[in-house]
Structure 1
Amino acid sequence: MIASNIRLPHDSGVHMSSHDKGAGQWLVLGLPIALGLAWITQGTGVIGNDPERNIWIPDDLTMPLQVQAAYNGERIFFRYRWPAERAHVYHDMLRYEGGNWVRHGASRVGPDPDGTYEDRVTMLVDDGGVPDFGRYGGYVTVGDRMRFFTDSASPAEVSAHPHLGETLGLTEVQKHLPETRRDAADWRSVVDAETLAAQREAGYFLDLWHWRAGRANPIGASDDQWIGEDRFGDAGQGPFTTNWDGATGQPRWMFDPETTGIHALRWEDVQAETVDFDGIYYLSRAMAVDFDPDHDWQDGDVIPRRLLDEGAGSRSDIRVHGDARWADGFWDVTLVRAMDTGSPLDDKAFREQGVYDIGIAVHRNATGSRWHYVSHPHRLGLGRHADIQARRIDGDSPAWNDDWYEMTLFYPGQVNWPLLTSRAHAGAPDIAAGKPVRPRHSEQQLALYGVEREFNDAIVGQWRLTLIAGLLTMLGVTFALLPAFRPSRRGERS
């Protein structure tokens, strides 16, 4: 038969045996190790809150905001509406505990566990004096080593700075504009005082409207600020001051029992999820008296660490119009200001037929500092076409309807202007060319990028481990199959 004429090499059995043995060793040892490494590096992930590194990621990366605007030739009105699970109106409280007044509600990473951090809405406004703001929004205000970033500058470093520390008395790097630095990637490189003054005169600053649910809203006020080489209050007096005497370790003022019927709030009321907006939940100058250390204070007594007072000067230009209230899961806030305040170094004036750039941010869920949601830059028009059409009205108060401009806000993460304009950012050439961000990236994309940047080092490390795992897998397969490609001795020809 034909089969009887086929002759195999006399050592072919040996070759087959060694091949099987070699392949088995590599497949049994190499592949499980490589695949196990891949499983370890890919299966656990790297996203997680890390307060020691100033990292806390909100559950929701985006949120909705509704906006309306109106003007009557003298005053301009902005209405904001956004969802919030509950109203956080208590901010920075002093609780009596075991003979001491203990502070609750200082700035911290992520949400305040006691809920003692107020809700806020802020709006940046520009009239073209900061061109990059109209293209990239609030990103231009986020500079090198800012507060609550993982690499934030230390208080000692900032305090020692000739301008920021010694002149302005700052201990943190806050929002600032790029051209207030000789090098935008170096927070220390502040330009000289003469240049800063000239920039402000030329309109190179952003107007900042700042509504606070606890430190201003109860007395119908809002804060009025601006951003240049730092964040500043306008000239004059703001709506609150600090109610604390560091020398004695106690408040300066308490509730006037004759006008309020109480000496203090109670901690259980502060912790309640509902707020009586018509009741007493704040301390204002009109209801305060000097603190009485001899009163029979009880554990759980609470005095606000902020005393509210009517502001003065340019800083008091913005007011709450009507009642800013939280109800049925939504805040509804309307602010009003003179279209032209007469303070060109503090405020951006609004004019008929003007077009302006705005960016809005919201703090909710008892968060502060950089844990907010921000918007793309949007255009506001007074009698001209823009994203948001401010409606011309007659009279002193708008008759609002349901014609809202819908925005999506996003969590920005640890993304700053030096990063965006550096080689580390693939879109840096587009920024250099002046291409705006809004047509190119959605809010969801920017939020995900922000989270990615917070964990960039860990993500790169995981990528390297995954690469090693892949290479080991390839090597394992290669060595396992290599014997199959070895030349073997041919059998004798018949």
Structure 2
Amino acid sequence: MTRKDQDKGASPWLVLGVPIALGLAWVTQGTGVIENDLERNIWIPDELTMPLQVQAAYNGEQIFFRYRWPASQPHVYHDMLRYEDGEWIRHGRSVPGPDPDGTYEDRVAMLVDDGGVPDFGRYGGYITVGDQMRFFSNSASPADVRAHPHLGETLGESDVRKYLPATRSDQNDWRSVVDADVLQAQREAGYFLDLWHWRAGRSNAIGASDDQWVGDYRHGDAGSGPFTTNWDGDNSQPRWMLDPDQTGQRALRWEDVTSGGVDFDGIYYLSEDNRTDFDPDHDWQNGDVIPRRLLREPAGSRGDIRVHEGPARWEDGYWDVTLIRDMDTRSPLDDKAFREQGVYDIGIGVYRNATGSRWHYVSHPYTVGLGREADFQAMAFDGDSPDWSNDWFDMTLFYPGQVDWPLLVSRAHAGAEDIAEGKPVRPRHSEKQLALYGVEMEFNDAITSRWLMTLIAGLIAMLGTTLALLPSFRSTRQGDRS
């Protein structure tokens, strides 16, 4: 075969292989995979981290926690009913990312442990994120949860929320809830997390905070919470409205609700103190708004946490929230008691920019000490109110993405062996690293698919080039030489 014949044999492989490889390369590299996909419950915040300042103080009877964080505007309106052409339309459901109308409240939530949940002190809130959680891309279907004998039939729930690992016999299956007597024994042994949960819309206006706990699910403490539902399902209308004799109005206005501002001294909420029965015969106007949540005085163990010195306020771009609770509420199945010389694990989450569900920023686990060495100290003082002369403790919170505990303890996670050995997360990963890992896991399937396509493109290019050049390296007879 002559050199000319060899070149002719090489040409088809180059003509076919190189364009195919370039085409695959363009498909795999020409478009990005990091983009919001609300149908798959994916929305990535512009900022992956945010600052939070914390202080703590105690006087022997009560303990105080103060939180300060930046927010471009306050979001205090939550779950509203807007009148439009004869119908009351709901705004403010949980959605992926920010609520488009801004009708989702700001929040701060703090998990507390006294050592009863050892992994919490090492890995923080990650241990509460189980299999097929609500608003994950693979979240469990409401029908499956409602049909579950414990979550659905006993608890009456329709989604999977926070739970602790030992409440499941199989970390890869949210359905594998251990027996009820085991759950009760765990709780009595202190295997639960105390949850302080301040809500700008559903508690703050009446100086209250929600009080919950996490075990097999995210539960409310015994008693009644600071809000209930203002909706008459039989008649498709609110149950209550603002009392015009007290407030001078029956409803809010939609343009005020969506303006981005709030008059903290005015009327922006519906409570037991300013309500009256709904009047269906009133001449309601398009744009009239009635809150779908009625604020009420919490009772029992669920009402243990209050906002110190009245409702918290947003001012000059910051929320400043101080919560107060008895150090020992004498509710050992609901709360973790604080004692002198105690050291406690905490993890804090913040919701801002009208986001809810899993679209929050969370902290590493930290320790707070009452007279003992810890990451930061609670200041001891005499009297009814701390002067906050102690320094702020600065934290960086991060967006956690779709990272759950089953993933972290699986072979798919390079650090699973470290977790098995009990090595804590904070010395090993920065907040930025965890945020980027969280985003990566949001798009893990797409990233893996693109990687495989890129690999195939490279292999095709290599194969085409090899086949094209192969004739040039074949041995030739003497008579074939020119």
Aligned to 1:16: 3
Whole-Å separation in 2 of the counterparts to 1:178 and 1:334: 31
Matches within 5 A, 1:323-342: 323-342=311-330
8 Å CA contact 2:163–2:216 kept in 1: the answer is: yes
Matches within 5 A, 1:105-116: 105-116=92-103
Aligned to 2:409: 421
Aligned-pair identity (%): 77
Matches within 5 A, 1:36-435: 36-322=23-309, 323-401=311-389, 403-435=391-423
Amino acid at match of 1:364: R
Q: Aligned pair 1:486/2:455, yes or no?
A: no
Deviation at 1:274, TM superposition (A): 1.4
Deviation at 1:338, TM superposition (A): 0.8
Structure 1 unpaired stretches of 5+ = 1-13
Deviation at 1:388, TM superposition (A): 1.6
Deviates more, 1:180-189 or 1:335-344: 180-189
Amino acid at match of 2:423: K
Deviation at 1:151, TM superposition (A): 1.5
Structure 2 unpaired stretches of 5+ = none
Deviation at 1:401, TM superposition (A): 4.3
What is the number of equivalent residue pairs in this alignment? 480
Q: What secondary structure is seen at the aligned counterpart in 2 of 1:472?
A: helix
Q: What secondary structure is seen at the aligned counterpart in 2 of 1:158?
A: helix
Provide, for residues 85-130 of structure 1, a one-character-per-residue CA deviation record: whole Å limited to 9, x for no partner. Answer: 1110000000001101110001111111000000000000000000
Whole-Å separation in 2 of the counterparts to 1:30 and 1:107: 50
Whole-Å separation in 2 of the counterparts to 1:55 and 1:439: 29
Q: What secondary structure is seen at the aligned counterpart in 2 of 1:286?
A: coil
RMSD: 1.5
Whole-Å separation in 2 of the counterparts to 1:467 and 1:54: 29
8 Å CA contact 2:2–2:480 kept in 1: the answer is: no
Deviation at 1:39, TM superposition (A): 2.2
8 Å CA contact 2:102–2:260 kept in 1: the answer is: no
Deviation at 1:457, TM superposition (A): 1.4
Deviation at 1:491, TM superposition (A): 7.4
Whole-Å separation in 2 of the counterparts to 1:128 and 1:480: 67
Deviation at 1:27, TM superposition (A): 3.3
Q: What secondary structure is seen at the aligned counterpart in 2 of 1:226?
A: strand
Deviation at 1:402, TM superposition (A): 7.3
Deviation at 1:476, TM superposition (A): 2.1
Deviation at 1:24, TM superposition (A): 4.0
Amino acid at match of 1:458: A
Whole-Å separation in 2 of the counterparts to 1:312 and 1:377: 30
Whole-Å separation in 2 of the counterparts to 1:490 and 1:33: 37
Deviation at 1:492, TM superposition (A): 12
Provide, for residues 256-309 of structure 1, a one-character-per-residue CA deviation record: whole Å limited to 9, x for no partner. Answer: 000100010000000112111111100111000011111111010000000111
Whole-Å separation in 1 of the counterparts to 2:453 and 2:172: 31
Deviation at 1:400, TM superposition (A): 2.0
Q: What secondary structure is seen at the aligned counterpart in 1 of 2:378?
A: strand
Whole-Å separation in 2 of the counterparts to 1:18 and 1:325: 84
Q: What secondary structure is seen at the aligned counterpart in 2 of 1:285?
A: coil
Amino acid at match of 2:252: L
Provide, for residues 379-411 of structure 1, a one-character-per-residue CA deviation record: whole Å limited to 9, x for no partner. Answer: 111111111211111221111247211111111
Q: What secondary structure is seen at the aligned counterpart in 1 of 2:186?
A: helix
Amino acid at match of 1:390: A
Q: What secondary structure is seen at the aligned counterpart in 2 of 1:394?
A: coil
Q: Aligned pair 1:472/2:460, yes or no?
A: yes
Q: What secondary structure is seen at the aligned counterpart in 2 of 1:173?
A: coil
Whole-Å separation in 1 of the counterparts to 2:116 and 2:15: 67
Deviation at 1:369, TM superposition (A): 0.7
Q: What secondary structure is seen at the aligned counterpart in 1 of 2:448?
A: helix
Whole-Å separation in 1 of the counterparts to 2:14 and 2:377: 68
Deviation at 1:443, TM superposition (A): 1.2
Q: Aligned pair 1:31/2:18, yes or no?
A: yes
- Greater Cα radius of gyration, structure 1 or 2: 1
Provide, for residues 2-36 of structure 1, a one-character-per-residue CA deviation record: whole Å limited to 9, x for no partner. Answer: xxxxxxxxxxxx72323333444433432232123
Amino acid at match of 1:248: N
Whole-Å separation in 1 of the counterparts to 2:479 and 2:148: 86
8 Å CA contact 2:168–2:177 kept in 1: the answer is: yes
- TM-score, length basis structure 1: 0.94
Whole-Å separation in 2 of the counterparts to 1:255 and 1:269: 16
